[in-house]
Amino acid sequence: MNLKMIRNRILFRRLSEDTETEGGLLIPDVARRPSVEAEVVSVGPQAVELKVGDIVMVDLWKGTQFTYDGKSYWMVDEDRVSATA
């Protein structure tokens, strides 16, 4: 991973989540749960509670989504993480 977070920023990727119903209907992002399980892939130097590889619960509406090298990532301040597993 070439992306390095600054300050207390956390970079994570969502773990698998259902994107369609059992009947095959696609579920849009706005209809999905706002909090999701994610894996931390990079942490800034001022992040004190989280480390790379941690599994966390994050409210996606509080983060910034972007695509890098063909993969989807989210970025939030460390204090926006709801819980760790």
Is 2 within the bounds of a domain? no
pLDDT tens digits along 65-75: 889 998 889 99
CATH classification of the domain holding 53: 2.30.33.40
Q: What separation in angstroms does the CA of 2 have from each of 21, 40, 57?
A: 35, 14, 24
Nearest-CA neighbor of 5 among 75, 66, 79, 72?
A: 75
pLDDT digits (tens, 9 = 90+) for 14-27: 886 666 667 877 77
20 falls within a domain: no
Residue 44 has pLDDT above 90, yes or no: yes
Evaluate whether residue 24 is within a structural domain.
Answer: no
User: What pLDDT, on a 0 to 100 scale, did the predictor assign at position 55?
Assistant: 95
Within a domain: residue 38? yes
Contact 5, 42 (CB under 8 A): yes
Instruction: Give the model confidence (pLDDT) of 27-36 as tens digits.
Output: 766 666 666 7
Over residues 37-56, mean pLDDT: 94
